[in-house]
Amino acid sequence: MRQMLGDFINQILSAQADTVCGADYGTTSDNRVNHRNGYRHRRLDTQVGTVDVAIPKLTPRFFLP
């Protein structure tokens, strides 16, 4: 259950980062306004336990979920 929740949250964060970037992960686009630069790993305490969340790092802009 914890793993499923972590995967779900990471997918949502990745989709949000794609929207901010203007292109999907791993693709090029003329509309792209910034690029991914790895992840910041954070722990999220939930009712099912602690989940490791990978928050995308974007450059030159930052990403706040």
Domain chopping of the chain, boundaries: 1-22+33-38+46-65
Q: Which helix (H) or strand (E) holds 9?
A: helix 2-21
pLDDT over 90 (residue 17): no
pLDDT over 80 (residue 29): no
If one compares 39 and 23, the residue with the highest pLDDT of the two is 39
pLDDT of residue 49: 94
Between CA 6 and CA 13, with CA 8 as vertex, the angle to 5 degrees is 95
Q: Which helix (H) or strand (E) holds 54?
A: strand 49-59
**What length does the chain have?**
65
- Please indicate, yes or no, whether the overall pTM of this predicted structure exceeds 0.85: no
Q: Which helix (H) or strand (E) holds 16?
A: helix 2-21
